[in-house]
Structure 1
C-alpha cells in the first residue's frame, strides 16, 4: 500500500483515522459533565475546550484529505479493473465453443430464436438482421439460411414495418424461393400510402407465398380485390384473414381470389364474414372460422375434405344452428372444436375421434347432453378424446356423458369460471375410487386426464385432486396412466402435494405440471386452434 503524510497534522494517511486524536472522555471529568448538560463553561475551561475543537478540526481536515486520496485511488483501481476485465473477456472469447460451432447448428439456433415484434421496435431488430451484423461468420450463416428470412412480418398496428421498400426487397431476395410466410397487419390511420407500397411489393412475389396472414382495412381489401385477376398464389398453403375492428367498409367487399388455389389446405377467418364475400377451396383440410352460423353452414358445405375444424359462433349471433335434418356431412373430419354445444346437433362426422366444446354457465344440462348424444348417434363415430371447456351444472350429467362415451380414453377439462371450479370438485370426487365404489368405477377406460385452470384466485383442491389420481392409479380396474395439470394462474400445489406426485411419478405414473405461458399454450392446443395464424403469431 502506498502511504502519504497529511499536510495538516503529519499523520500517515494510511493509518487509522483516529490514531492521532484521543476521542475518549472520562465519565467523571468536568468535560464529560459539560458535554451532557447545558451548563456554561468557566473562563479557565474555555481555553481547554477551544483546543479540543482546534485539534478536532485539524484531524477532520486530515480525514477529508485521506478520503479524497482514497477516492482517487479507488477511481484508478476501478478504471484499471475495467481495462483488465475487457482484456480478460477478449481472451476468453477466443476460447468460446461458439467459434467451433458448425454452421448448421448455428443456423438452427437462429431459427429457434423468438422474434421480438414488440411495439415501436425497429424492423431491423429481428434475428435475421441482427445475426447478419454480428460478424462475418454469422452473416455468412444467416445469408445461407433462406428459411431464416422467409417469415416477413409487417405490423402497422405496432409500428413494426420496413423503413423502405429496399429493406423489404432485400429480405424477400434472401428468403426461400417458395417459402415466403407473410404476416401483414394493416391498420386504419398510420401511413396508408406506405401500407399500399409494401403490399404492392409483396404482391410482386405472390407466387412464392406459402403462408399469408393478413389484417384487412377497406383500402387494403379493395386493393387486393382490384388485383385478384393478376395474383399468382399457386404455392399458398395457409391463409388467415382478419378485419381491423377500427374500420367499417361502406359495403361488402368481394374476395374470391383464393377459392381456386389448389394448394390451399389451411384457412382461418376472424371478424370478416359480415364484411367480405369469401369462398373457400374444396380441398381444404383445416377450417378455423369465427362468424355467424349461416356463414359456417355455407362454407362447411363447400369443404367436404376438412380433417380439423375450429368453429366459433360470433357472440352477437342469435340464430340457432339448424336441426338434425339439416346436418352438414363431414366424412373426413377427425378433430372438432366448437364454441357452442348446439353446433353438435348439426354435424355428421363418422370419423370424428377428438371433440372439444364450450359449455356456458347458462347452458341447460338437458341441451348439452342431447347435443353430445345427437352427434355421436347421428354420426356413429367412436370418440377417443373428449375435452369440455366448462362443465354441466349437475355432476350427474357429466357422469352420463362419460358413461355413454365408453371409447373415450383421453379426458380434458378446462376451468373458466367459479361455477366450473365448483363443478370440477364434484367431478373429482366422483372419479375418486374408494372402498364403496371400487366395483363401479366411473369411466374406467380413461387413460389420460388433463385439467386446465385459468380462473384467477380460485385454486382447485389439490389434496382431493391427488387422492383421485392416486386412487385410480392404485385401482386394478382403472387404466389411468398419465395426467396433466395446467395452471395459467399463480396458484401452485403445496410442497406436500408435489412430494406425493413425485412419489407416484417414480412408480411409473406420467404426471406433467405446467404453469403460466406453458399452461396457456397447452390449453390452446386442446381447442384445435391455429398455431400459425395471424392472432397466434402476434400474441
Structure 2
C-alpha cells in the first residue's frame, strides 16, 4: 500500500508520517545535581548539555510539525462533520411528520394563537414569516386576519414596540386579507392621542359595517372626535364593549341602536365610577353588563325580555317602580345593590351575585326559580367588608329560601347562628355541593370545630364535595380533621385572607364582577 505524503502547513515541505516518528530522545548523562540545583557544570559536562539542547530543539521542531499536521487534518474532519450534520438534519427534516400534517390541521393549530386563546395580534404575521408552507397556509385563511388590536395607551417604550405591529400598512393588509369576514376590533387610546391614532380609528370606522365584535376605550375627547364618523348601521355587530372615562356631563351613546345581530353589550364595567347613557336594541340582547343610574338601567331592562346574563352597577338612589320588571329568560344576575332586587321578577334565575342584605331573602322568597348558585358579599369595600358583622339570622333564612342551591359563597365572616344551623339541620341546603366561606376569630362566634363537624356529616350523608375556608390560622386539631377529609377524597382548601383576589376570581366569574368584587 502506497504511503501517503503530507505537506507541512508551515514550510510546505512534503513528507510522510513515517518521517515524523523519530527515535526517542536519549536522556543526558549529566548528573541531576547539575540539572536540579544552581551548581555550575564541569568543563567535561558542557558538551553533553549542548548536545542535548541541540537534539531537543530538533525533536521539538519535528513535534510541532506533526501537531500542525494533525490539527490541519482535524480541522478538515470537523468541517466535514459539521457539514454532514447539517445535511443529516435537512434529510431528517424531510421525513418530519410535521410536513405531512394536512393544511387544515395546521390551520386549526394556528387558530390557538388567536383570541380568546391568546391575545397576540401579531400572531398571523409571525406564523406567516416562518417558512413558505406556513405562509401559504396562513395568508389565505381570512379568519386569522380578523383580530385587530390597536392600543396606544402603553408607556412610550412599549408603545413604539406596539406600533411596529400595528400601523396603517399592516392594518390595511389585515383588512384586505380578512375580507369579507366580520372583524374583531379592540381600539384603545390614551387621553393624549394624536393624529396617527385618529387616522387609524378613521380607517377602522370606514370598515365599521364589518365589525363583528368591537371594544372602544378612551376619553370623552375621543368620543367627540369620532362620533360623527360612525355609520348608521352595524349589520354584523354581535358584541359591543365601551369603556369611556370622562368629566362633567354624562355622554350618551346612541349610535349602536341599529345593530340587528347585537347580543352582548358591556358598558364601563371596568370604569364603574363612570356611568354612561346608552341606547341599544334591548329586545334582542342576551347579555348585558353596565354602569348607570337605576333609571338609566330601567329604560333598557323594560324592553330586554330576552336577557340571559345581566350585571348591573347602580349609581344614585331613586324610587323603586311599583310593578317588578319581568325578565323571563334571565339565568344569571349580578347586582351592586340588592335593594333593587325587589324591582325584578326572574322565574328562570339560576345564579345570583349580590351584596348581603335582608332584601335578598325577600326577593328569593317571592321567586319561583330553582336557584343553583348564590354568592353574597358585604356591603362595604372589599377589604373592610370582612369586618362587617352579618345579621345572625338572615343568612339562615336566605339559604332556607333556596333549597336547590348547589354552590354557596359567603364572602363575609359566617354568623355563629348559621354555623350551628348548618351543623344540626341537614335540611338546610340539602343539595349543597360547593361551599366557600370566610372564617373569623373564634371570639366572634364561629365555632370552627362545629363547622368542620357539619362538613364531616354532610360529606358522609350528603352531597358536599368541596369546601374553601378563608380566615385566620386554624388549630392543629381542626387541621388534622381537615387532612382526614382530604384523604377521603374531599376538596378542602384552607387559606388566609391575603389571597383575597384569588377568592373573588374563584367565586365570581369575570363577566359578573362589579365594584364590590373587583
**TM-score normalised over the length of structure 2:** 0.66
Structure 2 residue runs of 5 or longer lacking an equivalent are 1-24, 26-34, 37-70, 379-387, 441-445
The partner residue of 1:166 within 151, 164, 169 is: 169
SS of residue paired to 1:325: coil
Q: Considering only aligned residues, what root-mean-square deviation do their CA atoms show, in Å? A: 4.8
- List per-residue Cα deviations over 1:383-433 (Å, max 9, x = no partner): 232222359714432112111222x23223154xxxx2x42888566534x
Contact map agreement 1:267 1:287 (CA 8 A) in 2? yes
Contact map agreement 1:178 1:235 (CA 8 A) in 2? no
CA distance in 2, matches of 1:286, 1:146: 28
Contact map agreement 1:182 1:209 (CA 8 A) in 2? yes
Aligned ranges 1:97-136 → 2 under 5 Å: 97-113=97-113, 126-136=122-132
Which structure has the bigger radius of gyration? 2
CA distance in 1, matches of 2:448, 2:92: 49
CA distance in 2, matches of 1:324, 1:175: 48
Contact map agreement 1:320 1:342 (CA 8 A) in 2? no
CA distance in 1, matches of 2:396, 2:337: 20
Aligned ranges 1:193-272 → 2 under 5 Å: 193-228=195-230, 230-243=231-244, 245=245, 247-248=246-247, 251-270=249-268, 271=271
Match of 1:54 in 2: none
The partner residue of 2:460 within 474, 484, 500 is: 474
The partner residue of 2:188 within 170, 185, 190 is: 185
Deviation at 1:325, TM superposition (A): 1.9
- List per-residue Cα deviations over 1:214-250 (Å, max 9, x = no partner): 113334312442134x34311101111011x3x537x
CA distance in 2, matches of 1:84, 1:518: 54
CA distance in 2, matches of 1:272, 1:167: 34
CA distance in 1, matches of 2:104, 2:421: 53
Aligned ranges 1:55-454 → 2 under 5 Å: 87=86, 93=93, 96-113=96-113, 126-158=122-154, 159=159, 160-161=162-163, 162-175=165-178, 177-190=180-193, 192-228=194-230, 230-243=231-244, 245=245, 247-248=246-247, 251-270=249-268, 271=271, 277-282=277-282, 283-313=284-314, 317=315, 319-323=316-320, 325=322, 327-359=324-356, 368-369=357-358, 371-390=359-378, 393-406=390-403, 408-413=404-409, 415=411, 420=412, 422-423=413-414, 430-432=421-423, 437=424, 440-451=425-436
CA distance in 2, matches of 1:155, 1:519: 30
Deviation at 1:336, TM superposition (A): 0.6
Deviation at 1:167, TM superposition (A): 0.6
SS of residue paired to 2:311: strand
Contact map agreement 2:392 2:416 (CA 8 A) in 1? no
CA distance in 2, matches of 1:263, 1:105: 31
Contact map agreement 1:116 1:126 (CA 8 A) in 2? no
Contact map agreement 1:387 1:526 (CA 8 A) in 2? no
Match of 1:36 in 2: none
Compared with structure 1, are the counterparts of its residues 284 and 427 closer, same or farther at alpha carbon in structure 2 (3 Å cutoff)?
Answer: same
| Paired positions, count | 413
**TM-score normalised over the length of structure 1:** 0.63
SS of residue paired to 1:157: coil
Deviation at 1:255, TM superposition (A): 2.9
- List per-residue Cα deviations over 1:91-117 (Å, max 9, x = no partner): 765565433333333323322236799
Compared with structure 1, are the counterparts of its residues 511 and 109 closer, same or farther at alpha carbon in structure 2 (3 Å cutoff)?
Answer: farther
CA distance in 1, matches of 2:322, 2:289: 24
